[in-house]
Structure 1
Amino acid sequence: MTDSTTPPRDGSAPVPPSAAPSPSEVRAERRRLVESIGALRRLLSKRRAFQVADQRRLQHEARQRKRVEAAHGGKLRRIEEERAVQEASLNHRIGALDGERERREGQALSVLRRQSVERALGSTYLNAREVNGIGEGLVRSLSAQGIRTAADFDDVSWGKAPNGKGSDVLYIHRTKGGKVHINGIGEHRGRPLLEWRRAALARAQARAPRTLPPDERHRITEIIEAERRRLRQELAEVPRTAETARKEAVRLHTEALGLLDSAASEAARLAAERRAEFDTMAEQVRDLQDRLSAHMEAYGDVGRRVRRAQKRALRPVAEVPQSLAGIPSPRTPGDAAPAAGLAKVTGRNGHRPVPGVKAHRAHPGWLIPVLYFGLTAVVGVGEMGGNTAHPYTMVASRLVALAAVAELLRLWLPRVRTRSAGPMPDGTGWQTSGVFLALTATGMFEDEQSDVFGAACVVSVLAAVLFLAGTVSRVAKTDDRTGESSAEST
């Protein structure tokens, strides 16, 4: 402990002996400072989880914005597609109206001619003077069966008698359905009856009108023109309807973006407050460390118990490099969002992901040496082709292969995960190559069937050089922000 009369560093008057604190008070103050620093460090340890959560928030906002933009673009495309389909359909229907007029005129003329023929046939009554072989008695028999005019029947045919006996008889087919047999009307009377009906039909068709009346054509023209005007009105309404739908889509899109922006602004404000809290705690830690250093200089060592805690408390607080002072936000790819107080986070396996910066995952090709060393741990080296290796070599080679597998998996597995992604430590490839060549040289030394001793010595030297180079690279790779070695952190 230093003399209490020693003047302080700030040049003030020395503390008189009567005012110097007792050793118990010095130890209590020292413990209070150490415990305060430890409590703040524990709070600062939550900064990495906060940074990861904040980066996920930014990515989630970017995904939501992308979905909103995609939905808006799809809505606009569907509106344009529907507009094009409706316009094409209406133009086709308008172009087909000329053919529709001809079709309707032909249909109306067919109806008019059919009605005229039916009226003419209905007014042509059957009488004995016009049909050869048909007397008044047969005319009354036909009338009793509903056949009075040429419109009441349309054909005759032969068929079996109604009682199923005797030869075939002649049937008269009524227009309204059914057929009847009149006794006394056979082939000689049925043929003149059918010819009479055909002659009446020919006269009726010849007298039927062959053109539409002017008023009927005018009526059809008015119907077609009214349909044309209606379709043209619908065609003119299609762009207005599409524009209304587009404006509604734009309005909904603007509202959705407004909600996202307001939520993002509030979240960014809370995140900025949280970062400011972490910065304040980091400053408090530094102030307490300065006070602890001054206390140590003023009163010296206070015991072995506190010494180790002092060393941990005086570890430097991690800082963010100036190049990472701003992390690009996924919402604005070209701008850098303020990210004051972002800390360097050291992983358990020497991997230091920087919050807000997406790290590259370890390459899956590292599984190849893992599989090779795993196979070597099973079959050994120098034990194939009839060779028998020394027992020490058998055990040592398998242990080295197992150690290589364990080390590679320890380094590789955390670096392929999303939350702890990162490249393999520098020098790992050289170390892996050195172990591979060392096992190869061991197998060459144990080979009794060929003389490869010289080559085995060269491979052994090369393996040692590669392994040492990789080890030095891993040890010498120091993080500039904390001064800690990557190899030590592993």
Structure 2
Amino acid sequence: MIDSTTPLKATDPAEIRAERRRLVEAVGAQRRLLAARRPFELADRRRLNREAGARTRAQARHGKAVQRIHERRARSERSLTGRLNGLDGKRAGRERQALVVLRRESIERSLRGTRLTSSEVNGIGSGLARDLAAQGIRTAADFQRVSWGKAPNGRGGDVLYIHRTQGRKVHINGIGEHRGRPLMEWRRAAVARAEARAPKELPPDERHRIEEIIENERARLQAELAEVPKTAEAARAEAEQLHAERLATLAAAEREAGEEAALRRAGFDEMAERLLALRVELAAHVEQYGDLGFRDRRARSRALRPVPSAPPVIPAPRAPEAEPEPLSGSATATAEALPVPGVRAGLGWLVPVAFFAMTALFGAGVTDATPMWFVVSGRLVALLMTAELLRLWIPRRDWRTADAMPAGTGFLAAGVFLGLVAASMFADPSYAADSAPWGLAVVAVVLVGAGAVRRAGVGSAVSG
């Protein structure tokens, strides 16, 4: 009796060839499908690189935003602190200004109260007093000075003009040098008396009013200064929230793309297992029925060619994962990953850089009489200073390494520049005998020494 589970051995050559052809075609089809795995793995690696780049850009954008918030806070605190420290000087200035106004008003009132009469000024009778009053000059406050000029009608030579406080100058017939001098002496005496009677200090109520204004401004500035950290913290929290949302969006997109890639990779793994099973079945069929001829061998050699190897699945470097969390945890994790922000070196340092670059290109005071060794050495020194300033300034502009320029750098730069100017004056015969180059040289040595001392002091403090 024959077991039903034992397959019957085919004996028909046509059936054997058909079965062999089916196995070979199945192996070839699976091999062609599996050949797409290598391009898929390469594309998936590019995807991982793009995701890592997107995370890096998001981290850099967030770092720059935090840096800008820190710089705005530092600028606001520095400005408000300076204004608070200057309130005492501002109060003294307001008191001086108020005293000046008070004295000026007192002097003007006194001068307006000093009337011009015939009994007050020698040589000025009642008729001249009426003429002066007709021209608007009744008190010592109505005119300022006298001067000589051409007569109004152009005849008779020079005449004496009286300059009114408000309005044009006027000429009074009968008032010349002999009457103009007593008139000015009378006014100077009136001004001296008014100045002597004017108050020398502010009254208590005015001083108290100024004090209240200063104290109100102090309270306002202190309130603004207290709000600066809160405003900066709110802006930082908003930046952290935006960064967390951006990371969450990237993470969701990465998870979706990763799941699709995993499904595609699982499909390729199933294809590989199916191809292996078909090859085993084909090998068993060949072992059972043997070789079927040249066409069979050629078809099997094409079908059994090795599949192009897929690249190893090595995940690309990624930024630290940041799962969506509450704001406090996300902000803490982000703050730990970011460098501590500092105040960047100012753009004003480009001014000495430009000066030294121009000196390196065109020289410092180069003339036909300047020796060649001085031209070369001066340009080399300027070029070295340009490179040194750029070496110090460029890293301190990046948000990751933001910092102020080292102490003493400004003194060193100014000293070297003045030294180059002094050396060029020494090399010029027209300036060599003067004292100006010696003065510049002394100032340059002092500045370089001060800069070196400050640099050394800061370096020792940091190392200590």
Distance (Å, rounded) in 2 between the aligned partners of 1:279 and 1:207: 108
- What is the Cα deviation at residue 320 of structure 1? 7.1
Q: 1:44 aligns with which of 15, 34, 42?
A: 34
- What is the Cα deviation at residue 13 of structure 1? 6.9
Partner of 2:182: 192
Flag structure 1 segments of 5+ consecutive residues without an equivalent: 1-6, 335-490
TM-score, L = length of structure 2: 0.65
1:276 aligns with 2:266: yes
Q: 1:251 aligns with which of 234, 241, 256?
A: 241
Contact 1:112 1:209 in 2 (8 A): yes
Partner of 1:207: 197
SS in 2 for 1:138: helix
1:127 aligns with 2:117: yes
Amino acid at match of 1:175: T
Q: 2:13 aligns with which of 23, 31, 35?
A: 23
Distance (Å, rounded) in 1 between the aligned partners of 2:319 and 2:150: 96
Amino acid at match of 2:102: L
Partner of 1:96: 86
Report the structure number with the largest CA radius of gyration: 1
CA change 1:134–1:320 in 2 (3 A) is closer
Q: 2:303 aligns with which of 313, 316, 320?
A: 313
1:2-401 equivalent positions in 2, closer than 5 A: 12=6, 15=9, 20=10, 22-317=12-307, 324=312, 327-331=314-318
- What is the Cα deviation at residue 21 of structure 1? 5.4
Aligned Cα root-mean-square deviation (Å): 2.4
Distance (Å, rounded) in 1 between the aligned partners of 2:161 and 2:243: 79
Distance (Å, rounded) in 1 between the aligned partners of 2:22 and 2:137: 128
Distance (Å, rounded) in 1 between the aligned partners of 2:270 and 2:86: 79
CA change 1:92–1:308 in 2 (3 A) is same
Bigger fraction of residues in helix:
2
Distance (Å, rounded) in 2 between the aligned partners of 1:34 and 1:163: 130
Distance (Å, rounded) in 2 between the aligned partners of 1:58 and 1:160: 95
Q: How many residue pairs align between the two structures? A: 320
- What is the Cα deviation at residue 215 of structure 1? 0.6
TM-score, L = length of structure 1: 0.62
SS in 1 for 2:161: strand
Contact 1:286 1:317 in 2 (8 A): no
CA change 1:14–1:260 in 2 (3 A) is closer
Contact 2:28 2:304 in 1 (8 A): no
CA change 1:250–1:169 in 2 (3 A) is same
Distance (Å, rounded) in 2 between the aligned partners of 1:333 and 1:190: 93
CA change 1:13–1:194 in 2 (3 A) is closer
Contact 1:289 1:313 in 2 (8 A): no
Contact 1:80 1:242 in 2 (8 A): yes
- What is the Cα deviation at residue 51 of structure 1? 0.9
Contact 2:38 2:310 in 1 (8 A): no
- What is the Cα deviation at residue 223 of structure 1? 0.6
SS in 2 for 1:327: coil
Distance (Å, rounded) in 1 between the aligned partners of 2:203 and 2:320: 76
Contact 1:131 1:192 in 2 (8 A): yes
Amino acid at match of 1:226: N
Contact 2:45 2:315 in 1 (8 A): no
Distance (Å, rounded) in 2 between the aligned partners of 1:273 and 1:157: 105
Amino acid at match of 2:293: G
Contact 1:146 1:152 in 2 (8 A): yes
Distance (Å, rounded) in 2 between the aligned partners of 1:269 and 1:60: 16
- What is the Cα deviation at residue 149 of structure 1? 1.1
